[in-house]
Structure 1
Amino acid sequence: MPFIKALEDVGFTVWWDGVLEGGTRYIETTEEALQSAVAVIVLWSHTSVNSHWVQDEAMHGRERGCLIPLSIDGAEPPLGFRQFQVIDISGSYGRSNDPEVINLIRATAALHGRQLPDRPPSKEPVFLAIRRRRLLFGGAAAAAVLIGGYAVSRTLPSQTRKLTENGLVVFPFDNVSGQADQDYLSAGFAAEVRATLARNSALRVVAQSSSEALKKKALDAVSIARELGVSFILDGTMKQAGESIRVYSELIDGATGFSLWSKTFDQSMEDLLLVKSEISNAVTAALSSEVSQEPRDSQIGATRNAQAFNEYLKGNDLYTAAISNETDVRALAHFDAALRLDSKFAAAHSARARTLTVLGNSSDSPAKSKLFYEAARVAADRGAELAPSLADAHSTLGFVLFQAQLEIRAARKPYEKSRQLGNGEAPVLARFAGYASATGQDELALTAIERARDLDPLNPTIHRAVGFVHYAAGRYERSIAAVEQALTLNPQLSDSHARIGRALLYLGRPEEALAVCSKESYGLSRYPCLAAAHWKLGHQEEANDAMDALINEYGDGSLYQQAQILAQSGKADEAISALGKAWLAGDSGLTYLYIDPMLSPLRQRSDFSKLQVQIGFK
């Protein structure tokens, strides 16, 4: 912004939201800056004069006698601020010798008890003694973002996304309590607001993973909007003190950086759920008259018990972190605690089902896995029963039936229901796309996963899922491109190099496949990929070594992968036998049976067709 640069050029240190460091965003409270600044400069415009947020900040400068008002478009200040002489900068280009710039610098210097020459030097800064004092471009931080935002828009790369009408990103709210153990509450609360808004079909709400990824970047509002292709940004802070909680939320126009709505809520923990509803309604009201208010069933699957809600947020925080088996067990304990407080809390039943499924996947014996999966089925059924309009509940039930219990036919109904209800929820759409792809419904899968990618563009697992949809349909080049994009977002993403390697195999490029497969860290994907590549290259000994490594590391937990290697090596009878054992053991690898090109050598066999029917693919 030219006026900020002019002030910095003569030695002032200027604070405004455009210089916030990574991890801190424009929503952060400016209370400390307002109180310590020697001068508070407000930029009035025809828009900002109607903003309560701008007026609140300007009031700090007025009451401390350090306000310098500027008008950027000829607008008069609002009532209560007209006793101050306004510097009209609407006709200025911000050059150091412009009269308006000189007047601004003189006014600022006067508040510091200094004098300025008529023509301040353009290169050598003056008043070095005050370089470390703070000057605040306050109140009109929104106006500063507006001017800076236009400059940014001219330099953004061509891959930036077009702003979508009623597109919205909800950032994880910041925990400003100073207590790290409260992070789960602020992030979880924002996630619940996001989920509520996502159920409104008139909105396009960016999913959690992309929201969290962008939080880590030091971007202004306009750049955030451009990167995600949204028109609006919702952010906030939370501070808990005992049983009281303060929630500050603000909705920002991504095209201009102006605040459209903001409010501070001082409530008890018992009223936190009411705050969630009020924020959701205020956002939809502020966005457009065409966007409906919060639907009557937007609280589906929720609870009115604040303690149960708190336990649920703690469990979600641990589950999402996906750190270890131990943290998954702790997450399950929190979901159980939530259900003891409210046995009809549908979302907690569904979350419990997902956690039990993960624990079953990582169990050290098939018998234990079976117990986890059976408990997951009960929890998933209960969640869907209690909340028949909750997309995530049906999605979870479909996931448990498909992935954990291999009930392919039974999973179809809940998955299709989840797609109908959850068109605005990326995780729901991604799960459906995985099922549709694995069962040969390519058109439905492609539509769902592209919608999921649109909602969650910075989530590497979504891009990897796009790759699976293309791979299942034989579009190997597009599959490779999607998985490479996933690795660009997360170079450590497991089960990605092997996916590229397998696609290269079926493009007739085994040497490249071998090199890529060697980079895979996940053994269940690495060894079959290596073995298949070695077989294609005639390296029989190396292929056998890969099979031996798979069995030594995973034993009967790798029956499906053993069948893949056996099929590729021409040992069809042994491959069919391994698949039969995998079916008896409930091996979740069998979910790929219908579309897996590694099993192509078996597809003309009657016993393979019989197995497909038995599992439920036909």
Structure 2
Amino acid sequence: MPAAARGARTRFLLAAWRRDGQDVADIFLSYSREDAGRAEALSDALVAAGYTVWWDRKLTAGERYSEETESFLKSARVVLVLWSRFAVNSVWVRDEAAVGRDTGKLVPVAFDGVEPPIGFRQIQALAVDDSAGAFPEDSFRILTKAIARKLGQDVDTTPDALQSPPTPAPPARKTAAAAGRGPIFAALAAALAAAIIYFAVAPSRTAKEADAMPPGAALTVPPFEVEGANASLAGLATGLTHGMRAMLRERGFDVRGYQFPDRAEDASAFIGKLGVDYVVRGTIVEIGDALLYNVDIVGAKSERAVASFQMQENSRTDLAIVRRILDRIAETLAPKAPAAGPVSEDADFYIALGLVEDAANQTDFAAARTLFERVMKRDPNDARAHALYAYTLASIDRYSGDSRTSGEAAGAALERALALGGADSDAYFARAVHHYVYGDDFARLDRAEEDLKRAIRSDPGNMRALRWLMNVRIQKGDYAGAIKIADRALALSPDYRDVQGNRISAQLSLGDRDAARGALDALLEETPDWAWGRRFRASIAITDGDFDRARSEISRAESLDAVGWNAELLAVVEANDGSLAAARAAIDLQADRTGLDPAWVAYKKAIIAGDVAAGHAVLKELVARETRPRQRAQALVASGFMNLYENDPAPAREQCAESARLSQNDANREGPPELAEVCAAIAAARLGDAAPAKALMARFERARARADQYRPYWSESLYAALQAETGDSEAALDTIDALVKGGWRTPKTALCRHCVHLSVADPRGLFARLVDEPRYRALMATIGAEKP
């Protein structure tokens, strides 16, 4: 087909793709710019076969994305990726392939004898030899059948056009350098020579072996059930399920689903959301001293049994049966899947695995530590046990607040795990947590992020690693990046509440309060007994100034899960409603549940009573005795703001500057300034030196430009205070006006460790320079703030 005709047809199809105002195509074609010829020829063949295909024929080095590209990528029903020796090194192709994989739309093709990169091998790629200058006819038939399956078409009744590619002979190729991104060769030849066809799948599988699962087929493994009330068996079943999911992924299976609903009807609906082809269900039955394992493999849509089998294990401690179950599943669904790698046969390992997968508190990790120590003693070469033991030790230290207790032991376990090999994803994940807990600078987050990425590349379904990567990005201030990781995790397990909650937290940080509030309300309607969600909703209600809603949510959370956060939130609500006795009782309850330092307890009680002198005396005592760097930094910044409140800027500047120095290892130097820096700059301005405040304002303005990493709800209020301190009251009022219109509300008594300055209408507070301004008073009246 002449290039002009192809261009006209492409323009026509682009117009036809606008459906209801949305960009829509059957197929999004992802390729490296060096493979433009392949992409164009294959696109023409697929269009001739009746499909709509979108591909960007204008790619240039270093450029990729446009709004149009992203729109078609999201809306396409199939993401067709052309892996080649160029594409495997393209971050753009990898990102587009990740979208296809994570949404269940990926259909991969491999040229040049390459394997897809790690992270994309769990979905079969159609390997094609086009060295003769054309896409082989048989390969095209296989490809169109795979596409038809993705589109929900009956592969036996698809149009004849799908059975063979178009016929014009291709011209000689031009190099990419000479041709740019224009056409390189025309449509596929009619008499296409037979070519070597093979499926490249998981790393251990030979290139020519094809398994029984269709390209892109996926499965899920719901939690194994236990007949009876044996608690130890319930723990075993939980860990066994998690372990089998990971080991099936290692064998090349696309396994989805992590956190399943408890009720059967909800679980059935959840499986429907996963878009899988098969469901592997298991039941453990206690028969005397033996355990009977019943396993059913059913079609997810038909609900018809594909295979059912029973296996009996006479030992409660040695589980050789795990490998046999894995082998039987593989034989049924993918006879030529690679053999299983190292498989733990220790029941203690699986019980511990269940604890660390779903651990909610330090007690779970402590129990897991003992179990992993037993496993390693019995089998010193269990790499996964060593890796997860290191993660467990680091988690215990993280919960306790003493980050040095087990650092060396955790490091030694990590070295052993990496030396043994065979548990790369778990080992990289554990090393990331080790960086996070035992590192002493902000760069520890970068090191943790890199190892988390390695863990995910090794096992794209490692939900622990995905969840931690999301949290690390939030801590780094990369809120948009955290949302992307959350979406990737939710594509694998749509109802994963921890991830949904943190995604909403990232939305809030970006200032998208209405969307975040709406998303959380929808989740709570769907899952009314989600205690963490109730607490989170209460905290949003507090910042909205809706104390009745906050009190209601706290009460509901307390009935579900009595923790210290409930009491902390309740203290804020009662203090702002003027119920001082109730607020003091809530502070005491928080201290009982969390072990809060008595000095902070006394400080909080003094603040809600308005006794500034007593509160400041407590802080002075705390500063005098506290030597731990992070805890001392907190006391110093609180005392510094108290000095500002009492109009004593000289000690405020000194204390806040020291706090900033102590916190610099935790500070993101590319993000907006930290609170202690703002405190020191305000103090300097009140002493006549406005230069530090102006320098920080410039940093705020630079950070503002990175909208995906900026917290307007918090940072803009500090920016406004600096504007006021440098004499630009009108600019400060404009900033606050925009905040109020965006929903900004601040409780008059926030009760954090440095929040005395947040009484926004107090003439000695954060906005002391503005409280006499009529416009400021009007803004505060708008949000119902306390009048000075």
**TM-score (norm: length of structure 1):** 0.55
Distance in 1 separating the partners of 2:581 and 2:266: 53
Partner residue in 1 for 2:427: 393
Q: Contact 2:440–2:665 (CA<8 Å) still a contact in 1?
A: no
Distance 1:441 1:326, change over 3 A: closer
Post-superposition offset of 1:284: 5.2
Determine if the alignment matches structure 1 residue 440 to structure 2 residue 474.
no
- TM-align CA RMSD: 5.0
Distance in 1 separating the partners of 2:530 and 2:286: 35
**Counterpart mapping for 1:201-280 below 5 A:** 203-207=254-258, 209-210=259-260, 213-214=261-262, 216-217=263-264, 225-238=271-284, 247-265=293-311, 271-279=320-328
Partner residue in 2 for 1:506: 543
Aligned residue identity for 1:525: W
Distance in 2 separating the partners of 1:579 and 1:388: 49
Distance in 1 separating the partners of 2:439 and 2:476: 16
Distance in 1 separating the partners of 2:240 and 2:286: 12
Determine if the alignment matches structure 1 residue 282 to structure 2 residue 331.
yes
Distance in 2 separating the partners of 1:479 and 1:358: 29
Post-superposition offset of 1:278: 1.2
Distance in 2 separating the partners of 1:344 and 1:441: 38
Partner residue in 1 for 2:730: none
Determine if the alignment matches structure 1 residue 190 to structure 2 residue 236.
no
Q: Contact 1:576–1:608 (CA<8 Å) still a contact in 2?
A: no
**Counterpart mapping for 1:319-330 below 5 A:** 329-330=366-367
Distance 1:374 1:475, change over 3 A: farther
Aligned residue identity for 1:293: A
Q: Contact 2:584–2:605 (CA<8 Å) still a contact in 1?
A: no
Q: Contact 1:237–1:248 (CA<8 Å) still a contact in 2?
A: yes
Post-superposition offset of 1:549: 5.2
Distance in 2 separating the partners of 1:552 and 1:256: 54
Post-superposition offset of 1:432: 1.2
Distance in 1 separating the partners of 2:580 and 2:323: 65
Deviations 1:593-616 (Å, cap 9, x if unpaired)? 9xxxxxxx9999655543442335
Equivalent in 357, 379, 398 of residue 342 of structure 1: 379
Partner residue in 1 for 2:119: none
Post-superposition offset of 1:357: 4.5
Partner residue in 1 for 2:103: none
Distance 1:436 1:321, change over 3 A: closer
Distance 1:614 1:397, change over 3 A: same
Q: Contact 1:249–1:279 (CA<8 Å) still a contact in 2?
A: no
- How many residue pairs get aligned? The number is 426
Q: Contact 1:166–1:204 (CA<8 Å) still a contact in 2?
A: no
Distance in 2 separating the partners of 1:355 and 1:194: 20
Deviations 1:448-468 (Å, cap 9, x if unpaired)? 112222323334333323333
Post-superposition offset of 1:479: 3.5
Q: Contact 2:295–2:308 (CA<8 Å) still a contact in 1?
A: yes
Distance 1:280 1:606, change over 3 A: farther
Percent identity, please.
15
Distance in 2 separating the partners of 1:589 and 1:386: 41
Distance 1:512 1:317, change over 3 A: closer
Distance 1:415 1:198, change over 3 A: farther
Post-superposition offset of 1:345: 1.7
Partner residue in 1 for 2:517: 480
| Structure 1 residue matching 2:277: 3-state secondary structure | strand
| Structure 1 residue matching 2:514: 3-state secondary structure | helix
Distance in 2 separating the partners of 1:445 and 1:186: 31
| Structure 1 residue matching 2:628: 3-state secondary structure | helix
Deviations 1:374-432 (Å, cap 9, x if unpaired)? 64454455445544863233223333443576654224324333234243232321121
Bigger shift: 241-250 or 521-530? 241-250
Distance in 2 separating the partners of 1:574 and 1:439: 32
Post-superposition offset of 1:348: 1.5
Partner residue in 2 for 1:584: 628
Q: Contact 1:460–1:490 (CA<8 Å) still a contact in 2?
A: no
Distance in 2 separating the partners of 1:560 and 1:347: 42
Post-superposition offset of 1:537: 5.8
Distance 1:256 1:388, change over 3 A: closer
Post-superposition offset of 1:337: 0.8
Post-superposition offset of 1:203: 1.7
Q: Contact 2:375–2:385 (CA<8 Å) still a contact in 1?
A: yes
Post-superposition offset of 1:445: 0.8
Aligned residue identity for 1:345: D
Aligned residue identity for 1:275: R
Q: Contact 1:531–1:565 (CA<8 Å) still a contact in 2?
A: no
| Structure 1 residue matching 2:665: 3-state secondary structure | helix
| Structure 2 residue matching 1:371: 3-state secondary structure | coil
Partner residue in 2 for 1:169: 220
Distance in 2 separating the partners of 1:199 and 1:433: 23
Deviations 1:53-80 (Å, cap 9, x if unpaired)? xxxxxxxxxxxxxxxxxxxxxxxxxxxx
Distance 1:509 1:318, change over 3 A: closer
Distance in 1 separating the partners of 2:413 and 2:600: 28
Partner residue in 2 for 1:43: none
Distance in 2 separating the partners of 1:585 and 1:401: 18
**Counterpart mapping for 1:342-361 below 5 A:** 342-357=379-394, 359-360=396-397
Q: Contact 1:479–1:500 (CA<8 Å) still a contact in 2?
A: no
Deviations 1:528-549 (Å, cap 9, x if unpaired)? 4345445666777766665565
Post-superposition offset of 1:341: 1.5
Partner residue in 1 for 2:492: 455
Deviations 1:131-187 (Å, cap 9, x if unpaired)? xxxxxxxxxxxxxxxxxxxxxxxxxxxxxxxxx963422023345699775444444
Distance 1:426 1:587, change over 3 A: farther
Bigger shift: 548-557 or 340-349? 548-557
Partner residue in 2 for 1:410: 444
Q: Contact 1:328–1:355 (CA<8 Å) still a contact in 2?
A: yes
| Structure 2 residue matching 1:338: 3-state secondary structure | helix
Deviations 1:343-378 (Å, cap 9, x if unpaired)? 232322233234435544665xx66x7425664454
Q: Contact 1:498–1:517 (CA<8 Å) still a contact in 2?
A: yes
Distance 1:219 1:279, change over 3 A: farther
Q: Contact 1:253–1:260 (CA<8 Å) still a contact in 2?
A: yes
Post-superposition offset of 1:321: 7.1
Distance 1:220 1:467, change over 3 A: closer
Deviations 1:566-595 (Å, cap 9, x if unpaired)? 9999989988997999892767999xx9xx
